[in-house]
Structure 1
């Protein structure tokens, strides 16, 4: 009897005895039973274990060939390719199981929505196209996807994804058919893509109520606030310099009642700035000092949208040493102190660092297949691999001298924000 004949619900170490014991095995064993509960076929369950372990253990690019080679004759490249690219299993229950597990073992302070850019050399991968990326200052041939992350100052993990599909793909029936884009997929802007994956995650899955932090210079902040106006979701969204806002704050008498660009409003509020600290994504023991201020504003709307939904706040965050540009954020959490809002913006740095240090290492962008379903299945399993690495690292930190800070600082900041947005 080969090892692939072992019942897949037993531990990862028993299924993969040829591999050296790994410190992540405990997390692997805790996560996979619930994660793969929706895979009712034993062969799919077994292949999922192989693929997940391969993302963690294979050297270099996490191609299906490299993953299959890790296990020799026990699994074939063809079988793994079919499991990911053209099988029938639904990735959504697995993503929900991942989110449920994370909220059960960690204390997310926010949900962070972030753009993932996947450069491609060809034109056949689903959704690929040429786009200008403001954050990079260049045009790339790439796929674009939005990830929703469960985030705290200690652990960040992606739990849901939406692949943005350009109109050129959706209007071409032959291309749609070749990559199996679902019939219901229609044209949408990048902002609409982000809104839909966030609504699916935060409203459809009904996870713990936490602020949604959106960090993208390609998303229209005003459209997001209109989209989620009646949702009750606390929002903190990166705003562009030129976003037109109406000042409603009596602390700025010179601008009250006027509509002007966000950067001009924040320039008028320089005397309102106060010190605030943001956790450094690279080292828990380091704190960045910033200057921050908030100004009460409204979205200009002749139809009375702002009047019916209450005021918003424009947050400006700049480095106290004068390095870099002032970050502008728009929020409906008008009762939260600027210092706590700055802590939330710091989660985007943690997500960015973890994407580079963990997601990239487990192959989140390494899928070389062309199918819509294959892409979604791969990033789902790569998100699970990211979770294993992140949770294992968090457990090691918990055993160190930093454990007291992890137990006390994060939940205290989180609770302070929850009291103000509930």
Structure 2
């Protein structure tokens, strides 16, 4: 754990929280089935869970500063040789949302809201996450908690979750833009941006990516796709054939339609449409843009979304991303940040890579 201690110890001015955070991280990295404060305190041989809970609630340390250390750590360990535009090794930033189902209504951000993860309305928190997918590995390096408008209207409820006094509503698209901006400011290479759900981006985010020259793949709704397609093509490309893909006019799983070609410094824009093999499933379509890009790059950026979902499943299953027992917004950000850091450390730490046995002579 020396590498991890050196990475974040300067963020804790007092010895007690510095000691507790290392014990907390060791617990997250352990094989404990539940990563609750009580289980982590027992493993650290604490008298009770008060110390671990105090670490998440009231101890003086900045979760955003540790997040910055996490981002730098991931970028350092997933660095690739200098790449040019259109190179297949370009990393991909993937936005995603995770649902944290709750029984009560007092945890920050909890509301009766639609869970795209489960396909139904639930009493839950929704966390937004940004992953960095590269040939060297995948790690989630940023997080934001979505706060529904009702939390900002009810100030007494906000006070119980210790929301900032000047907290303002931010859409999911806006939160994603903030996370992407933090990575673009630090990343050594211009990455792709891949957004797997329509509600996670809006026109402001798309235009912002255009202004910065960032290549992107954005999920579209069927009605948006039909509006962008030339007249007469929508029926062929968007309606699943009765007998499956092979019975239709298009027999390839991926179809592309050029919307605008590169000219006078402008970027190419495409529609990328995936035809599923099952006749009961609807085609999935994406709006793509970039300089000197290929269809293979578009597809790779889309497939990075599945890589991110697998990474988030590991975070929940193995390092306790959803095992927190705190209600305040500060506690959510602190636990989530430490979980992301634990996963990144496990993925990239030199101490955890296979050690070659010495050659005996």
Using the size of structure 1 for normalisation, the TM-score is 0.70
Q: Is the 8 A contact 1:359 1:386 kept in 2?
A: no
SS of the residue aligned with 1:140?
strand
Q: 1:164 aligns to what?
A: 146
Q: Is the 8 A contact 1:273 1:293 kept in 2?
A: no
Q: 2:304 aligns to what?
A: 347
Q: Distance in 1 between matches of 2:181 and 2:251?
A: 33
Q: What root-mean-square deviation, in Å, do the aligned CA atoms of Structure 1 and Structure 2 show?
A: 3.2
Q: Any idea what the Cα deviations from partners look like across 1:272-330, whole Å, max 9, x if unmatched?
A: 876xxxxxxxxxxxxxxxx32322237xxxxxxxx997552111123568785432111
Give the Å deviation of 1:115.
0.6
Q: Does 1:96 align with 2:68?
A: yes
Q: 1:139 aligns to what?
A: 121
2:53 is aligned, of 78, 81, 84, to 81
Change over 3 Å in CA distance of 1:351–1:358 after alignment to 2: same
Q: 2:340 aligns to what?
A: 383
Q: How many residues align?
A: 335
Q: Is the 8 A contact 1:314 1:329 kept in 2?
A: yes
Change over 3 Å in CA distance of 1:337–1:265 after alignment to 2: farther
Q: Distance in 2 between matches of 1:171 and 1:212?
A: 33
SS of the residue aligned with 2:274?
strand
Q: Distance in 2 between matches of 1:58 and 1:374?
A: 23
Q: Distance in 1 between matches of 2:100 and 2:211?
A: 33
Q: 1:295 aligns to what?
A: 257
Give the gaps of 5 or more residues in structure 2: 81-90, 240-247, 357-361
Q: 1:173 aligns to what?
A: 155
SS of the residue aligned with 1:332?
strand
Change over 3 Å in CA distance of 1:395–1:344 after alignment to 2: farther
Q: Is the 8 A contact 1:146 1:197 kept in 2?
A: no
Give the Å deviation of 1:136.
2.5
Q: 1:237 aligns to what?
A: 218
Q: 2:290 aligns to what?
A: 333
Q: Is the 8 A contact 2:31 2:318 kept in 1?
A: no
Change over 3 Å in CA distance of 1:264–1:242 after alignment to 2: farther
1:55 is aligned, of 23, 28, 37, to 28
Q: Any idea what the Cα deviations from partners look like across 1:177-233, whole Å, max 9, x if unmatched?
A: 121111232112222222232223334x45532111112243345443124331222
Give the Å deviation of 1:366.
1.3
Change over 3 Å in CA distance of 1:309–1:184 after alignment to 2: farther
Q: 1:185 aligns to what?
A: 167
Give the Å deviation of 1:56.
1.4
Give the Å deviation of 1:398.
11
Give the gaps of 5 or more residues in structure 1: 1-11, 13-28, 275-290, 299-306, 400-422
Q: Does 1:216 align with 2:178?
A: no
SS of the residue aligned with 1:238?
strand
Give the Å deviation of 1:94.
1.2
Give the Å deviation of 1:133.
2.6
Q: Distance in 2 between matches of 1:367 and 1:263?
A: 46
Give the Å deviation of 1:174.
0.9
Change over 3 Å in CA distance of 1:135–1:145 after alignment to 2: closer
Q: Greater relative contact order: 1 or 2 (C-alpha under 8 angstroms, separation 6 or more)? A: 2
